[in-house]
Amino acid sequence: MKYVIGNWKSNQNLTESLIWLDGLQSIKPHFSPDASVILCLPFTDIAGFNHKLSDLEMPIVTGAQNVSHLAPGKHTGEITANMLAELVSFCIVGHSERRREFAETSEMVAEKARQLLENSITPIVCLDLPYLDEQIKELFQKNVDVSRCYFVYEPISAIGTGHPQDPVEANHVANQISFLIDNQAPILYGGSVTAENVKSFVDQNRIDGVLVGADSLEPTLFAGIINSLS
């Protein structure tokens, strides 16, 4: 199985997300039975997007882009895993932007993954070399079942730069991650992924899919990536 995960980040309000869905529907990309397509949306879009998606014959699964590391309680403004459980099947945790902009630690990321799994949501755990070993160690210390997670190697130098990492180098790191988690989970690459280069990554022996940022915002470009895996 190959995986395409779109990450809209802080883009698209609900109206724009529904227009995007109409746009993708009109393009009619070829959804291969051997490829799983996941779209991680802003919290405000998820319910309305799910409602419209249920009326369309498109095999897209929705996810969130973040979750609180706190349990339900007196935490004004926090979105907990329990709240997301009725809305999504996946959730990104540990993205480098959240580490940089919100000072998220590996311990917080591991706690988020643990809470997601307790609520039957699959964590999509983002990793990079500066904290790769530390992050995986924290997951084990929190008793996170890594076989129920997805992992994304996302080199900071490639995110949003238009300069993806060399696929062979990315595959080397993916094999390192695979060793650390005892080859138990899918491993994806993220960083300036396009329809033109996606196949060079997924053709590597240990890269099972891609996390797509900018090119997931444009239906034509995202359809091109889906078609490239078909």
User: Which amino acids are annotated catalytic?
Assistant: 95, 154
Is 46:67 a contact under the CB 8 Å cutoff? Answer: no
Buried b (16+ CB within 10 A) or exposed e, 190-229: bbbbbbeebebbbebebbbbbbbbbbbbebeebbbbbbbb
Name the one residue in this structure whose structure tokens are 């992050």. Answer: 135
C-alpha neighbours within 13 Å on the C-beta side of residue 191: 25
The β-bridge partners of 209 are 3, 188
Q: In whole angstroms, what is the distance from residue 128 CA to residue 153 CA?
A: 6
Integer-rounded Cα Rg, in Å, for the chain is: 17
DSSP string, 70-122: SPSSS-TT---HHHHTTT-SEEEE--HHHHHHH---HHHHHHHHHHHHHTT-E
Q: What is the DSSP letter of 58?
A: -
